[in-house]
Amino acid sequence: MDELELIFENATRSAIFTNREVLRPDYIPDQLPHRGNEIRKVAMVMATALQGVRPSNLFIYGLTGTGKTAVAKYVLKRLSAKAERSVKRVKWIYINTRIENTSYRVLAHIAEGLGLKIPFTGLSTSEVYRRIINRLNSDSVILILVLDEIDFMVRKEGDEILYRLSRVNEDLSSSKVTIVGITNDIRFIESLDPRVKSSLGEEELVFPPYNASQLEDILSERAKLAFRPGALGDGVIPLCAALAAREHGDARRALDLLRVAGEVAEREGADVVSEDHVHRAYNELERDRAVEVISTLPLHSKIVLYTIYRSVGDTPPTTGEVYVKYRELCQRMGLEPVTQRRVSDIISELDMLGLVNATIINRGRYGKTRILLPTIQRDVVLSALENDPYISMF
Ligand SMILES: Nc1ncnc2c1ncn2[C@@H]1O[C@H](COP(=O)(O)OP(=O)(O)O)[C@@H](O)[C@H]1O
Ligand SMILES: [Mg+2]
């Protein structure tokens, strides 16, 4: 074999994975361990569609990675397969409103799901809505509309479109629409207009987080499909499960951790994934996550974070010291500083995001103050901040 052939051949064959795609977040496995109750509940609510009766609207909430999207898609796929063999017509359309993030795009997506051709722009939302109604009225179908990560759309555009969709049956004669709303934001439903809330929440279902042993089961099932036999060291799955459970039992993070650990092992030419690879994967993912969170911070939060991380290595600064340095920096940047009170709030926000650790210490007769400790490697934070065009100038 010539040298290039050898390089290409090695690239197509992995010592670690047989199929890494099954570890990706959009893969829906045939089995969803520890979600039996949730699957049954969704199925029971939706099953009336098979009798031609509109299922109640359903509102699903729970933290990220608790299987909400997977369960909804899993049940609706099975339901529509069953419906194909019965006389009743059932159709479902899945929309993630974090991706289809305007009312227009949501409606256009629904219209396209019904077989209509909609231009990318140019029509008003009312016109798209009218075409959807016409199409549904010329047909007799039960349409199940899954609106995933619904809080994104409402935060951006308000709940007008949800209000409209929750009333859509008033405009329909032969067809019926059911809405399945999904959100990771548990407080979201409280922020809705009470009329929308009561309509969407005809049925509600909360997904609890997984514990470490449940995550182990989920990972083990998936690992059988993803890895070569013997490619996983003994402690790898329990460690991934434990690390993911330490936060809030997020199956997506557990699967990411396992996948990246495999990739780290592969990159260094190892045949077996070790616990050390998991720890390195963990750091890599933390780094990516921090960079992402930092990039979306408002400018003054970035400046406060910058002030804190620039002084890492010295004694940890107090809130007051950070404020002094923050003001200096603003002055040099030609920016109006925000108040000390606001900086104090920003610090609490940064603490909540896990970007700093604000610890209260008691300084005797000087009273209590907060000192600010780094939680992430300094160079990671500083280089993420330097992506900001403003900050990079100083
Ligand atoms: N019970 C489970 N069994 C197998 N895989 C699961 C289970 N729950 C979640 N997953 C997987 O974890 C990832 C995240 O799940 P997802 O349904 O997207 O979570 P959510 O929508 O609640 O944020 C997906 O890859 C999904 O396939
Ligand atoms: Mg989801």
CA angle 334, 340, 344 (to 5 degrees): 115
CA distances from 175 to 26, 53, 138, 320 (A): 30, 10, 8, 63
Distance between CA 236 and CA 261 in Å, rounded?
Answer: 9
Confidence band, pLDDT 50/70/90 cuts, at residue 1: low
Residue 49: pLDDT over 70: yes
In the chain, where are the structural domains located?
Answer: 36-207, 210-293, 297-392
At 313, the pLDDT band (50, 70, 90 cuts) reads: confident
Closest ligand 1 atom number to CA of residue 67: 17
Residue in the structure block whose two tokens are 């910058």: 306
Q: 50-100: per-residue pLDDT in tens? A: 999 999 999 999 999 999 999 999 999 999 999 887 767 999 999 999 999
Query: 131: which 2 tokens?
Result: 């075409």
Q: Which residues form ligand 1's pocket by a CB distance below 6 Å?
A: 25, 27-29, 32-35, 62, 64-70, 184, 218, 251-252, 255
**CATH dotted code for 36-207:** 3.40.50.300
> Hey, which of 42, 75, 252, 253 would you mutate to test ligand 1's pocket, going by the most ligand atoms within 8 Å of its Cβ?
252
Of the residues 19, 23, 32, 37, which should be mutated to test ligand 1's pocket, given the most ligand atoms within 8 Å of the CB? 32
Q: What pLDDT is stored for residue 87 in this prediction?
A: 67
What's the CATH code, domain 297-392? 1.10.10.10
CB atoms within 10 A of CB 102: 14
CATH architecture of 210-293: Orthogonal Bundle (1.10)
pLDDT value for 202: 93
Joined tokens for residue 346 = 């920003």
Judging by DSSP bridges, how do beta strands 368-374 and 356-362 pair with one another?
antiparallel
Kindly report the pTM of this predicted structure.
Answer: 0.83
Examine domains 36-207 and 210-293 and report if their fold is the same: no
